[in-house]
Structure 1
Amino acid sequence: MSEAILMKSNIYNPDYDVQVNALNNGVFADPFAFLGVHSFDDKQLELRAYIPGVKGVCYESTKHRFPYQRYQNSDLFTLLLNKKYFDENYQLNISYPLSTEKQSDVYSFDSSLDLNAMYLFSEGTLEQAYKHLGAHWQTQKNQTGVRFTLWAPNAQSVSIIGDFNHWNDKRHILRKHPACGVWEIFIPQVNAGQSYKFNIVSQEGEKLEKADPFSFSMQQPSDTASIIPQKEVLSGCHKNKKQQIKLQRDRQLRNAIDKPISIYEVHAGSWKHDSEKLSQGLKGYLSYQQLAQQLVPYVKDLGFTHIQLMPICEFPFDGSWGYQPVGMYAPTSRFGSLADFQYLIDACHENNLGLLIDWVPGHFPSDPHGLAKFDGSHLYEHADKRQGFHPDWNTHIYNYGRAEIQSFLISNAMYWFDNFAIDGLRVDAVASMLYLDYSREAGEWIPNIHGGRENLEAIELLKQVNQRCYGNHPGIMMAAEESTAWPGVTQFVEHGGLGFGYKWNMGWMNDSLSYMSKDPIHRAHHHNEMTFSLVYAFSENYILPLSHDEVVHGKRSLINKMPGDDWQKFANLRAYYAFMWAHPGKKLLFMGGEFAQYNEWDHDNSLDWHLLEYAPHQGMHHLIKQLNKLYCANPALHQLDNKQEGFKWIDGGNACQSIFSFIRFAKNADDHIVIISNMTPNTYNNFRVGVPSQTSYELLINTDNILFSGSDFSHLTQFETQQIPWQGYDNSIYLDIPPLATLYLKRAN
């Protein structure tokens, strides 16, 4: 052994003392420069290992075993080894007080970081940053392990702590790449499912324990650690070429502007609860697999074309409904694993249902394990609260002008399309991103470089997200929740727009709900609230939203917004739904609205499914099903949603009777549907309506029908055209108008 190995004596070395002190404090910017394997002279290598809390360490290869020597009663162990005995696949045989383990020397592995990708990340153009940052399985020197990578440019030191190292912040200190501010380490002999965090030492010496911003999986709240993914975790999400072509073709057919799009908005945690889990004292969340088995067939049976999930990126606080995420790349573990989430998506696609995800790039919470003050500095957020803090939600705002944040958010949007083939993203709170003075008083915001209120960096980010997502994944839909009159939200970026595919029509929603909440006797004075939306209906590609925001915080449920007694409430809501389904624009309805839930939505409790035992609620449920059926089957109701030629008033000015009549046209103008909505409880016999065709008309739907629990005032289903000019048309028909009802008429074959 004496020829093969020379043991260093326990001699004091001031250079070692400095390094040991830094290691003891867990503050070391470049541990690979000191630990691991280093040349000593022409014939010998010096091996150093720092392992707190152990009795001893040995070098072990297939042929040799040599003990390290402890330095000065510290946790540093050193070994001088003749080069001819060195095996690059050596392991450390570590003696703990009660056990012995063999581990690879993590400081013997070279960096595998793609520096070209890091250049793009630092430039703000990396579209798949999630492939380079975070935790990824790799094989190095014939050993399988996980490479952990973190962007934390202002940290003094970064170590990883987890189940695999007893959460010791001095065991695995990462290597820093100064050019990009990224830290990295490769650790063999870890297991999928083990929890971990990054221990970050700030420039001020503060120690911060942070979850991995690029983690694919996190612990269930209230636990906050990230989880090492399964090997090839995303491989099950990737389809073969034939499957990819079919998914893209189906997606293009579902999401096109001339196709029917009827969206059922869902909060996965409260749509329905598992009674067995509740009986065990657990939260009653349905799993992703249970949602696939129960939600998907339910939505398909109702005739909706899409499901929209409220935010499913991991979030710590249930009461935020997901709108304060910390794990942007991790579907919440409340409902199962990443594979379970993919199971839900596959179930949607197998049933030709599109799946949209609510995406929150506008802000993030201040939870200590999250993105706020990530490396001790304002890394993800603006340092100035006038730009970096949201006063309404007490959350932080991304620094959209920082290149790495652009890569982070662009990659995150791409991640859901790249790996799960979802149909689209509904982008939350776009208005809060567009305006620097959003919800701020004078003096509480900073103008842009031109002195204006527009957030130029956020605008550019949204354009980049839309261009890159549409460019890489044709046929998707990007929908903006944008509540102002910002021009060109759905115009192409090349034409000066933001590049979204659709925009929520918040003006229509606010005006129409305001009108419907009024007693019918007063509606004549607010007639324009139902007609004004047609002034701008074709300026964007609109979605008409009756979302979760309208049935919480004292706003009352949709049925309880309606005036009158119970019968009138149901009649009002039925008439309103049919008016909405005929109005230009795609449709969105929040869960519970389809059967007229009385109570406001409560994220902690299931919908009131027992209401479906009662006829009025059954009738509403049946109406929604019929409206979706008619909407999808009749091109006139969806083909020209964004074109003026798809709509024409018959009489939009009949305020005294509160009756609205209009026509929806398909691309073939002979294919049209006449809509009449009576928004008072008055009835009218022999009511004349002008029509464009000489042929007779047949009734498609009457919301007053007994099938929907209506009064069944009129039983007429066929209407003969008379050559009597009326309301600008050469022909007209007589019909009986039921109370608080909407009728669809179509030219008879």
Structure 2
Amino acid sequence: MALALQDAQDIVAGCHGDPFSVLGLHEADGKLVVRAFVPGAQSIDAIDPKTGRTIVRLAPVPGAAGLFEGVAGRRRKRFAYHLSVTRDGHQWSADDPYRFGPVMGEWDEYLIGEGTHRQLWHVLGAHVLKHEGVEGTHFAVWAPNAARVSIVGDFNTWDGRRHLLRRRGHTGVWETFVPAVGEGDVYKFEVLDSHRHLLPQKADPVGFGSEHPPRTGSVVRNLSGHEWTDNAWMTKRAALQRFDQPMSIYEVHLGSWRRVPEDGNRPLSYLEHAEQLVSYAKDMGFTHIELMPISEFPFDGSWGYQPVGLFAPTIRHGTPAEFRAFIEAAHKADIGVILDWVPGHFPEDAHGLAKFDGTALYEHADPKEGFHPDWNTMVFNYGRAEVSNYLIANALYWLQEHHVDGLRVDAVASMLYRDYSRKDGEWVPNKDGGRENLEAIAFLQNMNTTTYGEVDGIMTIAEESTAFPDVSAPTDAGGLGFGFKWNMGWMNDTLSYMAEDPVHRKYHHSKMTFGLHYAFSENFILPLSHDEVVHGKGSMIDKMPGQGADKFANLRAYYGFMWGHPGKKLLFMGCEFAQGAEWNHDSSLDWHLLDIDEHSGVQRLVRDLNTLYRDHPALYEQDAKPEGFEWIEENNGDESVLAWVRRGGDGASPMLVVCNFTPVERSERRIGVPEHGRWVERLNTNSEFYGGDGRGNMGGVDSDQVAASGRAQSIKITLPPLTTLFFELECD
């Protein structure tokens, strides 16, 4: 039997680069030979899996402890067998993982090598299946520069010499099938780099499950067989997520939305969120729930923005099946689910993607390109086809496998610019000498083109904080191809204005109007996100000037301004009831504040704003078109009064919005109107129902042929202090 001594020694040492050429069933000198490696074994037989009879008794290979081999007599055809092992007085039988052929096909290899495998998760990762008639799990991982890759877990006592993977051609992919491993088993990859140095054990880059932190192992999860029950939503989703539809998003951190104090203050599970969060969002009138990142992450303090398991819903709240149940519950309630998605960077954790095979595989090798100074994280190498493919496949995975309705892409600005947060000399110009990251731009365009092309009715949203042009323009017109963009400039300007004492606001009036100069250049979402209520910024109510009732009046007027302004809406959890404290990811929202009238009043206002918004096309149909907006009073800084009209499509009644950002009542105030008729007061943020003092316009006013605000007709209204009013033209 021609087994080279070096091969035997490498198998025992666990550093053989092609173990399937040695172990398992082979032909040698015209005979069939069985070889097996079981450290500590005293004897091994190859037995018939049906009868249990011995086919061949294996003998120890001299100088190679744990390695056995035997000749299968006169047999001429390959045969199935089990290994019967005796060790320390115990005997057991099991399938030999080295007797199985490959699982991956040539077409998968080709697409992976080309960097165009859009369903990469169907091939890489851990998949429970039946292979050659045997139940087990197929493992595959990309590690092109590794000398050896093995799978380790309790099933092999975490011995990296036991289950070595087979290298698949020039793709850099390694694979193996491990019999009897299945749902719930914990595993990692053990990698030797090109110099045969042992690396820290790695979690699966395409793993569908993880252990509870701080443990870092991947967990086998079977995604197949789920029968979705949300067909009614999926059928109408495309119509509900168009640019001309209402969109009011409730941004949520699942770990701190609500906790269970009687059970160790634990966060809610996916199933509990499916009941409590979904019903709450439905009652509040939100159209979407946006989840801060739920891809598995090691550090709670990152809020999920430093993910390690990009394909694994965090186990903090349950399994992938339970996450799917949450999605289905939302869809049953006609609520879409958006995920915060983080393709911009990843942490340096030893079990993660960093130096995965001993080289800068997912990241750039040069820290001027591959290290992010703001977050001490690694930057993806978007110019590498396999990395771009990995990320785009990940986007498709969430949209296709979990029926997610949209992806909000985090930190897009950090991806677009090579000099983002870098000093001179700390960044590498692009091929043209510029600061734009051309590879990241191409990646984002490809991601958007692919996701919109592959999955009907979804949307992508960019958190982009600069003036980069055409973020939400189609890629064939030179844009990035996002569906929507967060309007960070609007948020910064208007919050800065609201923080001013009302007596000084007249000097900052342009901060409330400047956003209309560019409001129709993108498909904007107006965000009041988690970023505005952390890191010493205080809560929304804290940002408002004055004391007591004035603070709440300011906040109510501001929310009215926001809901009347062009752009879809996003509000972070707790802001809807004027959470008093700054957000803390380690504790629940202060739900007890709803026992206080001022806080419950703000909650009722947000609910009614959402209802008004959804029920009146003038407030959403032409969000991104200048035809949907008309200034009535733009330049009245002395009174800090703003007035405008919103218009929908044909047949929609116009809506007049009037804001007073001073504590002075403007009684019998004339406001010009574009059309004659009765203007019905649809919402008044000063209503007693919301915590105000109830001053208003007794349900509505009729216009007069009296010129005001540059119009031939006007209405005479009571404009209460620190108030926003909505008036709808009554149709005949």
TM tier, smaller:
over 0.9
Report the equivalent of 1:54. Answer: 41
What letter corresponds to residue 520 of structure 1 in structure 2? Answer: P
Cα-to-partner distance string for 1:400-420 (whole Å, 9 max, x where unaligned): 001110110010000011112
Question: Of residues 225, 234, 255 in structure 2, which corresponds to 1:248?
Answer: 234
Task: Report what 1:5 is aligned to.
Answer: none
Which stretch has the larger CA shift, 114-123 or 471-480?
Answer: 114-123
Give yes or no for contact 1:259–1:639 (8 Å, CA) kept in 2. yes
* 3-state DSSP of counterpart to 1:173: coil
For 2:221 and 2:44, locate their aligned partners in 1 and report how far apart those are by CA, in whole Å. Answer: 30
Task: Indicate if the aligned counterparts of 2:542 and 2:580 stay in contact, CA closer than 8 A.
Answer: yes
Contact kept? 1:237, 1:419, Cα under 8 Å: no
| Matched position secondary structure for 1:68 | strand
Contact 1:161 1:197 in 2 (8 A): yes
The one-letter code matched in structure 2 to 1:693 is E
Task: Indicate the residue corresponding to 2:422 in structure 1.
Answer: 440
Counterpart CA distance in 1 for 2:707 and 2:173 is 76
Contact 1:254 1:354 in 2 (8 A): no
Q: Give the distance between the partners of 1:192 and 1:16, measured in 2 at CA.
A: 38
Could you tell me how far apart the structure 1 residues matched to 2:92 and 2:680 are?
81
CA distance in 2, matches of 1:271, 1:148: 36
Residue equivalent to 2:214: 222
Tell me the residue number matched to 1:556. Answer: 538
Q: Is the 8 A contact 2:244 2:623 kept in 1?
A: yes
Deviation at 1:41, TM superposition (A): 3.1
String of CA shifts for 1:224-261, please: whole Å, max 9, x gaps.
0011123xx2331656xxx64x3333211221111100
Instruction: Show structure 2 runs of 5+ residues with no match.
Output: none
Alignment match of 1:29 (pick from 12, 17, 28): 17
> Deviation at 1:494?
0.4
In the TM superposition, what whole-angstrom CA distance separates every residue of 1:166-189 from its partner, at most 9, and x where no partner exists?
Answer: 111111111112310111111111
- 5 Å matches for 1:346-361? 346-361=328-343
Query: Does the alignment pair 1:473 with 2:462?
Result: no
Structure 1 residue 474, shift from structure 2 partner: 2.1
Q: What is the distance in 2 between the residues matched to 1:88 and 1:551?
A: 66
More off after superposition, 599-608 vs 197-206: 197-206
For residues 411-452 of structure 1, give each alpha carbon's deviation from its aligned partner in whole angstroms, at most 9, with x where no partner exists. 000001111211100000000000001010111100111111
Indicate conservation of the 8 Å contact 2:680/2:727, yes or no: yes
The SS at the match of 1:335 is coil
How far has the Cα of 1:206 moved from its partner?
Answer: 2.5
CA contact (8 A) 1:130 1:214 kept: yes
Q: State the partner residue of 2:159.
A: 168
The Cα offsets for residues 343-366 of structure 1, whole Å up to 9 and x where unpaired, read as 100000000001000000000001
- Is the partner of 2:272 in helix, strand or coil? helix
Aligned residue number for residue 113 of structure 2: 122
CA contact (8 A) 1:254 1:305 kept: no
1:261 to 235, 239, 247: 247
Aligned-partner residue type, residue 30 of structure 1: D
User: How far, CA to CA, are the matches of 1:82 and 1:54 in structure 2?
Assistant: 23
The 2-side partners of 1:140 and 1:331 are apart by 27
Alignment correspondent of 1:652:
634
Cα-to-partner distance string for 1:38-61 (whole Å, 9 max, x where unaligned): 11233x211111111111100101
Q: Is 1:213–2:205 an aligned residue pair?
A: yes
2:351 matched to which residue of 1?
369
**85 and 97 in structure 1: CA distance in 2 versus 1, 3 angstrom threshold:** farther
Structure 2 Cα separation of the partners of residues 517 and 733 of structure 1: 30
| Structure 1 contact 678–737 (Cα < 8 Å) conserved | yes
- Alignment: residue pair count: 726
C-alpha RMSD over aligned residues: 1.4
- 1:284 equivalent to 2:284? Answer no
CA distance in 2, matches of 1:744, 1:638: 14
Aligned to 2:648: 666
**Residue 190 of structure 1 aligns with which residue?**
181
Distance 1:560 1:472 in 2: 44
Is the contact made by 1:153 and 1:178 (CA closer than 8 Å) also made in structure 2? Answer: no
Map 1:634-645 → 2, pairs under 5 A: 634-645=616-627
Residue matched to 2:169? 178
Give the Cα–Cα distance (whole angstroms) in 2 for the partners of residues 88 and 138 of structure 1. 21
Matches of 1:24 and 1:99 in 2, distance apart?
A: 22
Q: Which residues of 2 match residues 123-162 of structure 1 at below 5 A?
A: 123-162=114-153
Contact (CA 8 Å) 2:521, 2:624: kept in 1 or not? yes
- 1:637 counterpart letter in structure 2: L
Kindly provide the amino acid, as one letter, of the partner of residue 249 in structure 2.
Answer: I
Provide the identity percentage. Answer: 48
Q: Which moved more, 1:420-429 or 1:530-539?
A: 420-429
Other-structure match for 1:344: 326
Q: Is the 8 A contact 1:218 1:226 kept in 2?
A: yes
Partner residue, 2:409: 427
Cα distance in 2 for residues equivalent to 1:677 and 1:121: 57
Letter matched to residue 16 of structure 2:
F
Q: Could you list the per-position Cα deviations for residues 555-577 of structure 1 after superposition, in whole angstroms to 9, with x for gaps in the alignment? A: 11000000000111100000000
Contact 1:89 1:141 in 2 (8 A): no
SS in 2 for 1:82: coil
Match of 1:543 among 515, 521, 525: 525
- Following the alignment from structure 2 to structure 1, what is the Cα–Cα distance between the partners of residues 209 and 557? 45
Q: Distance in 2 between matches of 1:367 and 1:692?
A: 61
In structure 1, the residue matched to 2:372 is 390
Which residue of 584, 593, 612 corresponds with 1:611? Answer: 593
Equivalent AA in structure 2 for residue 54 of structure 1: A
Alpha-carbon distance between aligned partners in 2 of 1:45 and 1:117, rounded to the nearest angstrom: 31
2: CA distance, partners of 1:425 / 1:291: 20
1:70 aligns with 2:43: no
- SS of match in other structure, 2:75: helix
Q: Tell me the distance in 2 between the aligned counterparts of 1:190 and 1:270.
A: 35
Could you tell me how far apart the structure 1 residues matched to 2:224 and 2:603 are?
Answer: 38
2:86 match: 95
Query: Hey, what does 1:401 align to over in structure 2?
Result: 383
Instruction: Classify the secondary structure of the residue corresponding to 2:226.
Output: helix
| Equivalent position SS for 1:214 | coil
> 3-state SS of the aligned residue for 1:666?
coil
CA drift of 1:86 comes to 6.1
Measured after TM superposition, the shift of residue 715 of structure 1 is: 4.8
Deviates more, 1:32-41 or 1:620-629: 32-41
The aligned amino acid for 1:211 is: A
Q: 1:670: Cα distance to partner?
A: 6.0
The CA distance in 2 between the partners of 1:545 and 1:741, in whole Å, is 21
Distance in 1 separating the partners of 2:551 and 2:677: 36
Quote how far apart the aligned CAs of 1:115 are. 2.3
> What does residue 520 of structure 1 align with?
502
Provide closer, same or farther for how the CA distance between residues 534 and 190 of structure 1 changes in structure 2, counting only shifts above 3 A: same
SS at 1:164's partner residue? helix
| Separation in 1, partners of 2:400, 2:582 | 36
Structure 1 gap segments, 5+ residues each: 1-7
Tell me the equivalent position of 1:112: 103
| Per-residue deviation, residues 117-155 of structure 1 (Å, max 9, x unmatched) | 222222221111000001112322211111110100001
Could you give the per-residue CA deviations for residues 169-223 of structure 1, whole angstroms, max 9, x where no partner exists? 1111111123101111111111311100000001233212100011110101100
Give the TM-score of the pair, scaled to structure 1. Answer: 0.95
Q: Look up the match of 2:257.
A: 271
Q: Distance in 2 between matches of 1:192 and 1:166?
A: 18
CA apart distance, 1:82: 2.3
- Distance (Å, rounded) in 2 between the aligned partners of 1:575 and 1:141: 67
2:399 alignment partner AA? F
Measure, in 2, the Cα distance between the counterparts of 1:287 and 1:254: 28
Per the alignment, in what secondary structure is the counterpart of residue 84 of structure 1? coil
| Inter-partner Cα distance in structure 2 for 1:135 and 1:537 | 46
Give the partner amino acid of 1:71: V
- Calculate the TM-score normalised by the size of structure 2: 0.97
> Is the alpha carbon distance of 1:248 and 1:366 closer, same or farther for their aligned partners in structure 2, counting shifts above 3 Å?
same
